[in-house]
Structure 1
Amino acid sequence: MWVTLDSAGSSVDTTVFHEDGIISGYRHPCSSATDCIISLFQLTNETVNIWTHFLPTWYFLWKLLTVILTRDVWHDSFTWPLVVFLVSCCIYPLASSCAHTFSTMSTRARHICFFFDYGALSLYSLGSAITYSAYVIPDNWVNSLFHQYYVPVAVANTIICTALACYSRLGFPFLQYNRNTIIRFPEYQFPKFAKFLRIVAFAYPYLFDNIPLFYRVFLCVGDGCTDNNANVLHHTHIALAFLTAFLYTTHLPERLAPGSFDYIGHSHQLFHVCGIISTHFQMEAVEQDMVTRRQWLLTHSSPVAFADTLGAAMLCVALSLGIIFLFSLPLVWSGNQGKIHGDKSPQSRAAAKGCWGH
């Protein structure tokens, strides 16, 4: 069920499946959907990746349902930013666990799976910005010019960064890859540049979203700085977020001892765990700010609007799905060519799946 990539067969294009410092524990790169699901209950180098995001999905779903059932979300617009944030907290680990589960069905499936993963992460970034605008922004920035344009810029960042992350895998659809050829730029030819683009796509919206929080907890002094008990939770979230980024960019500890952390303890597993714990503390901090600052914000801030909360989230979901469709279309189209032309040979079926080199 699991292999070293060298043993997967000369006809299988395995480059896209390889991770730095991980030698063994790979699933076969042409697994069926059933094989992928069965692998959830076998120890591979993806098993912990999957479960560390699948199980927290249910925790965040429970938190979302608790808010919906205990707060008057249908009539109290002040709760809408929290609902959007919690929905994004449910979607991003679920998308990640599904991507890790089914990414070994073929090279094309792997790309498409992670396109959805990137879109979900961008939505989570927007959810953070929406809650920060409503509950976290310091008192002396409320209704400022920055506050007025903060969510619209976050919406633009979400769309741009989804596209940039998808671009980092294969390049521009139809220009650098299409139904006849897949020129794997930049991930194959320039893997470090591809990783850099992906880091930028994730780091930039996080840093922008956190401008009001960084100012509030690190720079602001005197009146209007919103110094309350939530700040301790915010500090914890920030520390864990930077630890998460460190693990993602450095590939430690497996780079120091290749093969020693193939199944348990490699950086992507630690990245998942730290990211989820960071999200938990972020959620707790946001909820505490919402409760503690509610009366002051209702008095001094502009009313929470549908356009800046649920509307912004739905717009981003629609546009992100459009971007994912655009990047995925050449892969799906290419994968169906054998079927369209009635070629039933094993080689054609394998090539159609993206299991053979191109």
Structure 2
Amino acid sequence: MLSLIKLPRVFTINQVPKVFHEDSIISGYRHPRSSATDCILSLFQMTNETLNIWTHFLPTWYFLWKLVTVVLMQKAWQDSFTWPMVIFLFTCCIYPLASSCAHTFSTMSVRARHICFFFDYGSISFYSLGSAIVYSAYVFPDKWANSSFHQSYITIAVFNTIICTILACYSRLGLPFLQYNHDIIKRFPEYQSPKLSKFLRVVAFAYPYLFDNIPLFYRVLLCEGEGCTDNATNILHYYHITLAFLTAFLFATHLPERLAPGSFDFIGHSHQLFHVCAILGTHFQMQAMEQDMKIRRSWLVENSIPITFANSVGPALLCVVLNLVIIFLYSLPLLLGPVCKDMKYSRGPKKDKLCPHS
């Protein structure tokens, strides 16, 4: 069937605008003004984004199945103790789905690229809050349960989530509500200083992760003696932590393609490996949460902070609303900016005709 469909052409790095360039990726680029149909068709051909999309789209359905299992089989709506797990699994569905959609449709235009990845960043920050909520409910070591840090943990995590989204969006476009013109893209952080832009994104995602995992790091790496919650779940936590740091390493270093530019354009570049490690890490994190929830339930109900709407569902809903507001504020200037009048293009992109932000 696909043999009867004319798949979109792919291009080299020299044929697409700088804003679409990926570090050490030489070929496999899609047209910088692809139609939505072309973007979908590109899922079935080899481009430098194909595996980025599938490595997050397929796991979305696995996490959705796990979410449905918890909601239906454990009757989560009747048991507030399972609410944090439901929220966490929901964020596990959202972030890979948002990522796969961002990678799919980011070549429709430069403004579409920015807006797609704003949603991607918002979903990652939402996932970080989901992790914090589930950690607060099930992971805190016995000796930290109901401590002052535990009581303020979710509030700080919400604040960190908002900072994460703002900083990640800022790394692409700087401050919103500038008066855009045809040359303004050259003053965007991602265009003017891509290394600084990448550093800001690493900080944006690393900071909430490190904060969220303080109780886990203490529990499995530092805590000794009574009250350290040393149970069979800890090995799963070790797997998750290892994969999380490997994920960050791949995202920050662009290895292995940096060692041999052009050799890993389609298979094996760092972003694909980053996606795989992130999903595997989330899988082990989910398994650890499930075990801690079951093994520690009776003790946590008696000794830890009671799970209520105010420390589970409420913060998650607040995070969704605030993230959408931030994304809207950053997207609005792009949507209101000038549109390039010359919309006629050949099958090969002509950079001198591209309106920089349209």
**Residue number in structure 2 paired with 1:182:** 184
Alignment map for 1:1-358 (pairs within 5 Å): 1-8=9-16, 14-175=17-178, 178=180, 182-183=184-185, 184-334=187-337, 345-346=342-343, 355-357=354-356
| Structure-2 separation of matches of 1:178 and 1:287 | 49
1:46/1:100 contact within 8 Å kept: yes
| Structure-2 separation of matches of 1:74 and 1:39 | 40
| Structure-1 separation of matches of 2:223 and 2:342 | 67
- The alpha-carbon deviation at position 174 of structure 1 amounts to 1.5
Q: Hey, which bits of structure 1, 4+ residues long, moved more than 6 A? A: none
- The alpha-carbon deviation at position 192 of structure 1 amounts to 0.9
| Structure-1 separation of matches of 2:253 and 2:68 | 37
Structure 1 unmatched ranges of 5 or more: 9-13, 339-343
After superposition, give the CA deviation of every residue in 1:64-115 in whole Å (9 maximum; x if it has no partner).
0000111121121000000000000000000000000000001110000000
1:155/1:312 contact within 8 Å kept: yes
After superposition, give the CA deviation of every residue in 1:316-341 in whole Å (9 maximum; x if it has no partner).
00000000000000001115x56xxx
Paired amino acid for 1:346: M
| Structure-1 separation of matches of 2:332 and 2:210 | 31
- The alpha-carbon deviation at position 181 of structure 1 amounts to 5.6
After superposition, give the CA deviation of every residue in 1:280-310 in whole Å (9 maximum; x if it has no partner).
0000001100000000000111210101111
Question: TM-score when scaled to structure 1?
Answer: 0.93
Query: What secondary structure, in the 3-state scheme, does the structure 1 residue paired with 2:190 have?
Result: coil
Paired amino acid for 1:187: E
Query: What secondary structure, in the 3-state scheme, does the structure 2 residue paired with 1:252 have?
Result: coil
Question: TM-score when scaled to structure 2?
Answer: 0.93
RMSD of aligned Cα (Å): 1.8
2:143/2:228 contact within 8 Å kept: yes
| Structure-2 separation of matches of 1:182 and 1:128 | 37
- The alpha-carbon deviation at position 179 of structure 1 amounts to 6.1
Q: How many residues align?
A: 343
- The alpha-carbon deviation at position 347 of structure 1 amounts to 7.0
- The alpha-carbon deviation at position 357 of structure 1 amounts to 3.4
Query: What secondary structure, in the 3-state scheme, does the structure 1 residue paired with 2:311 have?
Result: coil
After superposition, give the CA deviation of every residue in 1:29-60 in whole Å (9 maximum; x if it has no partner).
11000000000001101000000000000000
Query: What secondary structure, in the 3-state scheme, does the structure 2 residue paired with 1:37 have?
Result: helix
| Structure-2 separation of matches of 1:182 and 1:7 | 21
- The alpha-carbon deviation at position 224 of structure 1 amounts to 0.3
Structure 2 unmatched ranges of 5 or more: 1-8
- The alpha-carbon deviation at position 187 of structure 1 amounts to 1.1
